[in-house]
Structure 1
Amino acid sequence: MDELEHNDPFEHPLPVVQHVLQIRPVHLVTDDDIIDALWILAYIKVCGVPHVPATIDQLEYELLLLGRRLGVPQIRMAPPLGAKTPQAVDHRIKRARAKRLGLPASERAERDYRLRGITAAKVGRREAAWYRRHGLQLWDAAQALVKLRGEHDELIDDELAQTIVDIARELRRKILPVTPTSYPVLRDLATVVYLFVEEVQDDRYDEFRAKGGSLFPEMVKLAHGQHAARFGS
């Protein structure tokens, strides 16, 4: 707060945006906080305020995710992005997510990654070693998630349910024992699991996470472990 009090927000606007993202508990963040922070980023981009583009992109992505998590209508988040529709905001989020996953920054790349994964790229030694150590654990955790969804479907919405359907689809491709033939399948499964563990952190799914107990922390660890093995820490 000292930085916010002593710096002119027109000359030093980034701390204002960072403050919004750091407010705890999160439910204290208002719709207007999100919208105002997005407008600040738009101001930085067009008014010549010195900045690192990657930092602005990351802050924008975090604000959009927070806004969606808090139920801010996507149509309200559109104008600061220079967008006109909720779909355009959704595409912006997907492009940013694709970039974070090391893909071309397009919604199509993100969708293809979610639905099919990328099996053509060679599996490196570090990634292969991760599958040998954790492949069975990943399959078991995914299977437990699909079962949990069947028992508590009323606790999730269509968006999260679709991601779990994608996980179930990848499970049907399961190849045992774990050998190099299994690696592309495990990669595709891990890709969807990585997206799932991001989505399930939303407050809307608190009850669902509670039903899963230790399953969700385990899936977070697995998803991040595979991602680090594939792309580097």
Structure 2
Amino acid sequence: MAVRRTTLVALAPGADAAAVARALEQQGGWARPTLPGVVRGGDVVWRVTGDDQDAAIPDRLPVAGFTSATYRDGPTGTRDLAGNAPVHRSLLLRVEADPATTAAFEAELFAMGKHIPVMREWRLSRVVASQGPTAWTHVWEQVFPDLRALEHAYMRHPYHWGHVDRWFDGEAPQRIVRPGFRHTFCLLGDSKTSVGNPASASAVKWST
């Protein structure tokens, strides 16, 4: 089971996000500038795996702050659809609930892959370590064919707002996700978009 770390990096005003991403990739893993529309998602997403876990942000980079989550691969789903899937999305969450309620939330969140066909890959992982002001509990990763699939077909899907949103809504009695979650996404356009190995023992493949 792979161990990964996702870091959301906020840059100093005027810093070149693409240049910072290239510098971070020299330390290991992959890094990309975030796209417009992220929510507390930073300016650069940096993800490392396995032997690169000790990679650190060089002091010379114009970084204003960061938060990160380290996690072991959780359940992973994949859907066989033709074409590229260049948009990688990560959601960092802090859940505060009893084990049974947390398990119900996890099951409902992961089931989005069954109900929302624009998702190419998805994985829900429990966090084992965090850096930054928030102790994250979960990382929810997805791959989409394009931005419209993420921002429209996914975000506006009835399963999203009819089932999952209640766990996040401060006015709903079922809310267990604490305020301050991080919603971020970036454009990769190559094999690095994979959330993990969908042929692993934890993989779940839904029919289309």
TM-score > 0.5, shorter chain as reference: no
> Which is strand-richer, 1 or 2?
2
> Which is helix-richer, 1 or 2?
1
Structure number with bigger Rg: 1
- Greater relative contact order (CA < 8 Å, ≥ 6 in sequence): 2
TM-score (norm. length: structure 2) = 0.33
